Chain A
Amino acid sequence: MNILLVLIPVTALVVIVGVALFFWAVNHQQFDDLDTPAILPLLDEPAADATMAPAENPTSKP
């Protein structure tokens, strides 16, 4: 059972590293927008201009 004396500090270390990483992510706004990245892979054309044909009318309602 002496292995506990090693393993418990190790888990504590893992937790601390995890919390530190998460704090970094939060501080870098990684959790601010959770909606749009989900749609990103669905976009078939990578180029921007092709998808915005000039004929498209920004004010018209579908």
Chain B
Amino acid sequence: MNAHAVWGHPLLLAQVLRPRRDGRSEVALRVDALAEPRRALALEQAIRALPGIERVAILPAARRLRVVWDAHRLSLDALVERCAALHCPAQPLPHDDADDVRAAELHAALKHLLVAGMCMMQVMAYALVIYVGAVDFVDFTTRGLFRWLGFLTTIPLVAYSARPFFTGAVRELRERRLGIHLPVALAVAVVFLASAFNTLRGAGEIYFDSVSMFVFLLLVARYVELRARHHGNAQGDAAIDAAPLLAQRIAADGTLETVPALALRAGDRVHVAEGATVPADGVLEADSARLDEALLTGESRPVLRRRGERLVAGSVLLDGPAPLRVEHSGAATAVARIGALAARARAARSFATAGDRDIARFVARVLLLTALTALGWLLVDPARAFDAALAVLVVACPCAFALTAPAAFTRALTSLARRGVLVTDSAALGRLAQVDTALFDKTGTLGVPQLELAGIEPLRGDSREEVLALATALARESSHPLARALADAACRLEPARQAERVEAVAGAGLRGTVAGRALRLGRADFALGAWAAETFEAKSPLREERFSAVRRPMAVAMGQETAETWTAQGALQPGRLLPPRFPGHALAPERQRDALLLADTDGAIAAFRLAERPRHDAQATLDALRTDGIAPCIASGDTPERVAALAQTLGIADWRARQSPDDKLARLRELRTEGHVVLAVGDGSNDAPILAGADVSAALAGGTGLAQAQADLLLMDDRLEGLARARSIAGEVQRIVAQGRRWSLAYNLCAVPFAAFGFVPPWLAGIGMSLSSLAVVLNALRAGRDGNGPRQELRA
């Protein structure tokens, strides 16, 4: 039986497999390795080679893989197994309708766009024939024929392609508000009906070319925006999917078995690791646990839950691990119900962005202007009122205006995504241009803890691999940066050991049992000190001395909620802390500075020296931000000495140490009340409040899901340099949108008076409109274009 056999569970299959009409099945898999195109393609090819596979589609932004295959020839667990064998662990996702809705929306938009494009080209050709007067030499009835052809070809365009505007207009009327659809629908309908009327009566100007171009260009803008929005949603999904669908169920004999969270039944007991997401609603069975229920409450402050209290699925366990007795799972959880509610609310809401409102106002003004023109001419010369009003309407249509923002934003988002910056909220790009202060977290953001093999000091003659394997078994249960550094260093070791009853002590370390041995990993005072209370009680003559040395830093560390202080150096006073039985007392003081200690009841087993270095691109990023007028500052939960060291290395004068999440938030508020626009950059759950509270927030993709859920920008591959790039592109987009707006205004101011006085023939109106749109779009495409930016290259 393989580890993925759980995916063969029929109930689970029903939730992740989507049966297709042709008898095949479809599944969406979350695969983190898709971030690397090379591996994504290798995986795709490997899957294609499997029997019964029909289609493999990769959605890199969502880290999703869609597979359509014959489930009779290949089971789902075999598929998941195959992915795991290729070192691309895959996790089937519950199929939801949102995907279908999105795909259908995109397909419909594309079809509308294409029909509009095809019809527009035909109408243009017919209009051109009339404009150049070729048919006038032949026969007047031929001219009539071409007018009729234009009319007939515009019918599908107005009836099919422009339908989104009409349905939108009806909805806006029903909701009694002015959106973009109503004025656009009105303009299209008026121009089309007027031209149709002129065709039928065989006299007057026709504007079929203008109306089809208007519809086409607006559909282009809509489509581009839709794609960008789906891209953003896909990234949102990537963050949401990260929530574990698998849970660790505690079997009757106490062992852990991995089961899908969907397959949990009421009454099951599950094990939740520190930093992990609670897989189901249930009752806490540990004495106490701190949880982040931001998903539910929007409040990022940790909540303390005691034994017997209810935990909600989707909240993040900040210190753990904790056992949980399941009450509701799957779609019955509170979060799933809220999610369904939110989805319904989102579907009901039309996507009225700031840009949309601008366009709506603009079009409303154009309609007003048209009405005024008509009124003016009715007073002077009623015969020309109709034509002049029509000309104003066509000339002033804000295609250029509508196209600028989506084109520039899409271009910028694509360019940023290529450089490893995913923008989850495109409005953030606008705010980023105004940022003047950047508030950084230290551990995990500016600096990375690193463990090198040479940094492992076995203190009792075990091999390095042996002690590393023991420590890793504990470290794997935690998402603390130091624990992750340890787990990362050890991932070459096979097979992994399983730790049991791992418990995290905030600010101190981890304790648990590996292969029957009670172990502790963390600060020296924690790893060694607390045993006294359990095993050396009254026996050790050193107890008093050791405890007096330990108590102060322990108290500081325990009070500090950030858990960034496991290795706080104050706790490691050489010689004083180490008992006589501790054979590592010869360790030089500087070696102990950043050491994590692994100990059992007999004393220390090994010391792990973790060095904190600035990220390789931290200096360059900070320099770039500084030249761009952004002042960097640090707010860290770590000790002043270590923060000062890193701040000095990076040349940051403004730093604060020993900051709890509340302190950080207070610091952020202080900066904002001083009038600064603040960019917050962090990676841990303790940064979530500042990420949520800042004007713009960026999270590293290696950070916790909670931090990512709050962030506007996600820095993939943990590279900071994307920030500087995002900033410069944001500025560029702002400039380009402003240029587009000015251009539209200038164009209208020049052209509308002529149109109002009846000097603009239809062909000139059409040329003016398309040239103006073209100029604006070409200008918008400059966003994010530069030759020397580092592109995300294919990695070998």
State the A residues within 8 Å of B (CB).
1, 4, 8, 11-12, 15, 18-19, 22-23, 26-27, 29, 31-33, 35-36, 39-40, 42-43, 46-49, 51-52, 54-62
User: A33–B106 Cα gap in the complex (Å)?
Assistant: 12
User: A44–B139 Cα gap in the complex (Å)?
Assistant: 63
What residue in chain A is nearest B794 (Cβ atoms)?
A42
Find chain B residues with CB under 8 A from A43 CB.
38, 41-42, 45
In the complex, which of the residues A8, A12, A27, A61 contacts B107, with contact meaning CB atoms closer than 8 Å?
A27
Q: Hey, what's the 0/1 contact readout for B121-149 against A, CB within 8 Å counting as 1?
A: 01001000000000000110010010001
- Given the interface pairs A8-B149, A60-B488, the reply to whether A33 lies near B57 with Cβ below 8 Å is yes
User: A24–B107 Cα gap in the complex (Å)?
Assistant: 11
Does B375 count as interface, using CB distance less than 8 angstroms? no
Does B89 count as interface, using CB distance less than 8 angstroms? yes
Does B40 count as interface, using CB distance less than 8 angstroms? yes
Does B58 count as interface, using CB distance less than 8 angstroms? yes
In the complex, which of the residues B49, B111, B122, B492 contacts A23, with contact meaning CB atoms closer than 8 Å?
B111
User: A2–B44 Cα gap in the complex (Å)?
Assistant: 55
- Given the interface pairs A48-B42, A49-B46, the reply to whether A60 lies near B491 with Cβ below 8 Å is yes
State the B residues within 8 Å of A (CB).
32-33, 37-46, 49, 55, 57-60, 86-89, 103, 106-107, 110-111, 114-115, 118-119, 122, 125, 138-139, 142, 145, 149, 487-488, 491-492, 702, 717-718, 794-795
Q: What is the number of contacts between chain A and chain B, taking CB atoms within 8 Å? A: 95
Quote the shortest CB–CB distance from B233 to chain A (angstroms): 14
What residue in chain B is nearest A11 (Cβ atoms)?
B122
Find chain B residues with CB under 8 A from A32 CB.
57, 59, 103, 106
Q: Are B118 and A15 in contact (CB under 8 A)?
A: yes
- Given the interface pairs A26-B111, A29-B57, A61-B718, the reply to whether A48 lies near B491 with Cβ below 8 Å is no
Q: Are B37 and A39 in contact (CB under 8 A)?
A: yes
In the complex, which of the residues B42, B103, B115, B139 contacts A51, with contact meaning CB atoms closer than 8 Å?
B42
Majority-rule SS of B interface residues = helix
Quote the shortest CB–CB distance from B189 to chain A (angstroms): 24
Q: Are A52 and B86 in contact (CB under 8 A)?
A: yes
Find chain B residues with CB under 8 A from A12 CB.
122
22 A-B pairs (CB sep. < 8 Å) = A1-B139, A15-B119, A18-B118, A19-B114, A22-B114, A26-B111, A26-B114, A31-B106, A32-B106, A33-B59, A36-B60, A42-B794, A43-B42, A47-B45, A48-B49, A48-B86, A49-B46, A52-B87, A56-B87, A61-B702, A61-B718, A62-B717
Q: Are B86 and A49 in contact (CB under 8 A)?
A: yes
- Given the interface pairs A15-B122, A51-B42, A52-B42, the reply to whether A58 lies near B139 with Cβ below 8 Å is no
Quote the shortest CB–CB distance from B98 to chain A (angstroms): 15
Q: Are B114 and A39 in contact (CB under 8 A)?
A: no
User: A27–B142 Cα gap in the complex (Å)?
Assistant: 39
User: A35–B149 Cα gap in the complex (Å)?
Assistant: 39
Q: Are B142 and A52 in contact (CB under 8 A)?
A: no
Q: Are A40 and B41 in contact (CB under 8 A)?
A: yes
User: A60–B489 Cα gap in the complex (Å)?
Assistant: 8
Find chain B residues with CB under 8 A from A35 CB.
60
User: A18–B122 Cα gap in the complex (Å)?
Assistant: 13
User: A12–B44 Cα gap in the complex (Å)?
Assistant: 40
Known: A4-B145, A31-B106, A48-B42. 18 other contacts (CB 8 A): A8-B149, A11-B125, A12-B122, A15-B118, A29-B57, A32-B57, A36-B40, A48-B45, A48-B86, A51-B39, A51-B42, A52-B88, A57-B492, A58-B32, A58-B87, A58-B88, A60-B488, A62-B795
User: A33–B39 Cα gap in the complex (Å)?
Assistant: 16
Q: Are B87 and A26 in contact (CB under 8 A)?
A: no
Closest 7 CB pairs of A and B: A48-B46, A51-B42, A48-B42, A48-B45, A39-B37, A58-B87, A36-B58
Find chain B residues with CB under 8 A from A27 CB.
107
User: A54–B44 Cα gap in the complex (Å)?
Assistant: 17
Find chain A residues with CB under 8 A from B57 CB.
29, 32-33
Quote the shortest CB–CB distance from A18 to chain B (angstroms): 6
User: A29–B55 Cα gap in the complex (Å)?
Assistant: 10
- Given the interface pairs A19-B114, A49-B46, the reply to whether A36 lies near B86 with Cβ below 8 Å is no
User: A51–B795 Cα gap in the complex (Å)?
Assistant: 11
User: A4–B38 Cα gap in the complex (Å)?
Assistant: 53
What residue in chain B is nearest A15 (Cβ atoms)?
B118
Q: Are A48 and B43 in contact (CB under 8 A)?
A: yes
Q: Are B59 and A1 in contact (CB under 8 A)?
A: no
What residue in chain A is nearest B110 (Cβ atoms)?
A26
- Given the interface pairs A59-B488, A60-B491, the reply to whether A39 lies near B149 with Cβ below 8 Å is no
Find chain A residues with CB under 8 A from B492 CB.
55, 57
Find chain B residues with CB under 8 A from A61 CB.
488, 702, 717-718
Quote the shortest CB–CB distance from B41 to chain A (angstroms): 5
What residue in chain A is nearest B484 (Cβ atoms)?
A59
Q: Are A31 and B110 in contact (CB under 8 A)?
A: yes
Find chain B residues with CB under 8 A from A58 CB.
32-33, 87-89
Find chain B residues with CB under 8 A from A36 CB.
37, 40-41, 44, 58, 60
What residue in chain A is nearest B34 (Cβ atoms)?
A36
User: A39–B702 Cα gap in the complex (Å)?
Assistant: 25
User: A33–B717 Cα gap in the complex (Å)?
Assistant: 22
What residue in chain B is nearest A54 (Cβ atoms)?
B87
- Given the interface pairs A58-B87, A61-B717, the reply to whether A46 lies near B45 with Cβ below 8 Å is yes
Find chain A residues with CB under 8 A from B44 CB.
36
User: A18–B115 Cα gap in the complex (Å)?
Assistant: 10
Q: Are B42 and A39 in contact (CB under 8 A)?
A: no
User: A46–B118 Cα gap in the complex (Å)?
Assistant: 39
Find chain A residues with CB under 8 A from B86 CB.
48-49, 52
User: A23–B482 Cα gap in the complex (Å)?
Assistant: 53
What residue in chain B is nearest A56 (Cβ atoms)?
B87
User: A47–B795 Cα gap in the complex (Å)?
Assistant: 17
What residue in chain B is nearest A35 (Cβ atoms)?
B60
Quote the shortest CB–CB distance from A62 to chain B (angstroms): 6
Find chain A residues with CB under 8 A from B138 CB.
1
User: A59–B718 Cα gap in the complex (Å)?
Assistant: 12
Q: Are B142 and A4 in contact (CB under 8 A)?
A: yes
What residue in chain A is nearest B718 (Cβ atoms)?
A61
User: A42–B139 Cα gap in the complex (Å)?
Assistant: 58
User: A49–B122 Cα gap in the complex (Å)?
Assistant: 51
Q: Are B41 and A52 in contact (CB under 8 A)?
A: no
